[in-house]
Amino acid sequence: MDNFNVFAYWWERKASADDCAVRITQFLSDLGRCDSQFNNWYWQGRSRKEGLRWRLSIVDRASLRRAVLRGRHRNYQGKLAFPELGFGLGMWNGLDSKHATSISLSCGAWYPDAANCCLLYLPDELGSLKRAGSMQDIIAAVVNAWNPDCASVVSNRALSRRRSKGKAPIVDWMVYVSNRWMPNPPQLEPPASSKKLPDGTLIVVQKEPTDVKNPEHLRNIRQVRNAIRPRLRIPASSNEAQSDT
């Protein structure tokens, strides 16, 4: 089975280091409740050995805030910070290659059309996350912490097939669209299903993980994509090409 990841994006949202630290705490706490493999986190280093020395504590808010501040984008000399670019951070769960999960965060960027993101790279061995209910809990943890404009559970193969680099949501196994972007969700045909979350709608294309080499799975993906496309209300500053595959 192909590798799956959870990608979430939101645009032009100013946030302080404290704001980002609070959201990181909520995010990692919620992930830990989803699966025990997400209970321990480390800041990413230049090597596995180096990374395992930098344990991340979500209960030490001051330390977490300092880490966020170290992630400020600076010029090549490291002296001048660019606050409009926000903060960039990376972390991982310290497990072996088949079970390793990593997170890449960009938060607090607010220059025109700035993209913030939470990229959750899931392990090669999904284990219980192959179940739709378990994966829904993961994407819900991302959404509840970061309140993105859109989020997707997407395979590497599906991502490589994506023709457009626009900002419309990527439709693969699961897709979330905020109420800001899709105030009126569509009616869906089986096997697709939808679930209302506090600030948007989570759509599951089918129960089992999608395979873009499977014609039936591709039909299910297209059915959802065609249903949501006319409902999207992406703001003008974020409205590039509205197609994803």
Residue 58's SS3 state is coil
Task: Enter the pTM of the model.
Answer: 0.92
Q: Tell me, what's the pLDDT at 76?
A: 62
- Is the N-terminal amide bond of 191 cis, ω within 30° of 0? yes
Q: Which of 103-117, 153-167, 191-205, 230-244 has the lowest mean pLDDT?
A: 230-244
Q: Tell me if 85 sits within 8 A of 44, measured CB to CB.
A: no
* 244 or 148, greater pLDDT: 148
Q: Is the pLDDT of residue 151 over 60?
A: yes
